[in-house]
């Protein structure tokens, strides 16, 4: 088939690579978000998908909106059979959805209908799921509600951050997306409607969602930290300033600390929760680089009775 791939961040690059390498299909063009300011100089930088496409000599389309008439006209001129999508980052209008004969097929990082929305991996970890995966489905105008072509499953490991898990899913999902394109081309793969039961939503994680509640159980604290790493970053308050929590570890044997209460040892920092303590392993104070929590505590000279959470 002739394909137009739509995607923007680094997590979409493995799928683009898989389609380029498959040899069965022609990636005629790539659609991605416009260049965005980045770094201290705030200079405009192309998306990771745009950079990869340019390296491969593929035409790159960067419409400000997928409703842009010039973009829609160019898409019609290219005449794709199908448009595979991975984390493109913009809602597609019906007029765009109708252009390719086989529609737009999205690689979504959950086992649909679970975790429809922008942050499926973060919500899966924060909710304590043990298994997740990726799904390919036909995009329709509802939120991730289209019929499903295929899935792969992935175990969520006890120390996985959303970054860890998303990286594994990006590579597992790239093979799934390529196989889905093959099945559509062969006519051997049919999309199956999602069940009406088991629908959960995964809206974007806000900075406020990432604030740790020390009255919650230790397992919940650990899940919030892992689910919000690397972005937007779990955090708490210490001496009126925000302290980012990069990595923690539950300590079931320690139950003597009140929620938010600090206990500083020679090489350890424990914090009380609503159940048992967690150990702070890595933190990041405002204006500082990430550091070991024990080093942060020594530098902060934490006094007896001080706590986290404000």
Q: What is the pLDDT of residue 123?
A: 98
pLDDT at 107: 98
The predicted-structure confidence for 89-118, as pLDDT tens digits, reads as follows: 999 999 999 999 999 999 999 999 999 999
> Tokens 């998908």, residue?
49
How far apart, in Å, are the Cα atoms of 297 and each of 30, 36, 269, 292?
48, 37, 7, 9
Domain architecture of the chain: domains with CATH: 2-202 (3.40.50.170), 207-300 (3.10.25.10)
290 is in an annotated binding site: no
pTM over 0.75? The answer is: yes
On whether 110 is known to bind a ligand per the annotation, the reply is yes
pLDDT (average), residues 75-102: 97
Tell whether 113 is in a known binding site: yes
Q: What is the DSSP letter of 12?
A: G
Position 310 pLDDT exceeds 80: no
Helix (H), strand (E) counts: the chain: 8, 15
The span from the CA of 17 to the CA of 86, in Å, is 12
Average pLDDT value for residue range 158-178: 98
- What's the pLDDT at 41? 82
SS3 66: coil
pLDDT band per the 50, 70, 90 thresholds, residue 147 = very high
pLDDT score for 39: 79
Number of neighbouring beta carbons within 10 Å of residue 286: 10
CA distances from 144 to 8, 11, 12, 109 (A): 18, 18, 17, 11
State pLDDT tens for residues 233-248: 999 999 999 999 999 9
Work out the average pLDDT over 296-301.
95
Instruction: Tell me how far apart the alpha carbons of residues 293 and 281 are, in angstroms, rounded to a whole number.
Output: 5
Helices 48-55 and 13-22, interaxial angle, to 10°? 20
Q: Label residue 42 by pLDDT band (50, 70, 90).
A: confident
* CA distance to 91, 99, 152, 219, 288, per residue, from 224 (Å): 28, 41, 25, 9, 22
Pairing of strands 26-31, 59-61: parallel
Do residues 160 and 151 touch, judged by C-beta distance below 8 A? no
Q: How far is CA 41 from CA 38, 132, 265, in A?
A: 7, 38, 41
Give the pLDDT confidence of 4-38 residue by residue, as tens digits: 999 999 999 999 999 999 989 999 999 999 999 88
């Amino acid at each position: 088939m002739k394909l137009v791939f739509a995607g923007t961040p680094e997590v979409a690059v493995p799928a683009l690579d898989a389609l380029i390498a498959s040899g069965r299909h022609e990636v005629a063009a790539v659609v991605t978000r416009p260049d965005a300011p980045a770094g201290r100089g705030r200079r405009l930088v192309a998306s990771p998908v745009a950079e990869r496409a340019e390296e491969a000599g593929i035409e790159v389309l960067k419409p400000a909106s997928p409703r842009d008439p010039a973009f829609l006209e160019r898409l019609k001129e290219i005449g794709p059979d199908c448009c595979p999508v991975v984390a493109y980052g913009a809602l597609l209008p019906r007029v765009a959805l109708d252009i390719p004969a086989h529609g737009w097929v999205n690689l979504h990082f959950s086992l649909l209908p679970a975790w429809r929305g922008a942050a499926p991996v973060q919500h899966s970890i924060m909710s304590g799921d043990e298994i997740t995966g990726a799904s390919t489905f036909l995009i329709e105008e509802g939120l991730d509600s289209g019929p499903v072509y295929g899935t792969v499953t992935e175990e969520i490991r006890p120390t996985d951050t959303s970054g860890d898990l998303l990286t594994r899913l990006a590579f597992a999902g790239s093979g799934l997306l390529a196989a889905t394109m093959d099945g559509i081309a062969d006519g051997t793969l049919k999309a199956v409607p999602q069940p009406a039961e088991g629908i959960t939503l995964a809206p974007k994680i806000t900075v406020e969602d990432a604030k740790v509640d020390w009255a919650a159980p230790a397992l919940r604290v650990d899940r919030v930290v892992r689910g919000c790493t690397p972005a937007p970053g779990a955090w708490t308050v210490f001496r009126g300033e925000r302290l980012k929590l990069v990595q923690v570890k539950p300590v079931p044997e320690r139950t003597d600390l009140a929620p938010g209460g600090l206990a500083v040892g020679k090489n350890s920092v424990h914090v009380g929760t609503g159940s048992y303590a967690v150990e702070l392993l890595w933190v990041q104070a405002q204006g500082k680089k990430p550091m070991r929590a024990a080093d942060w505590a020594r530098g902060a000279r934490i006094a007896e009775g001080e706590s986290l959470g404000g």
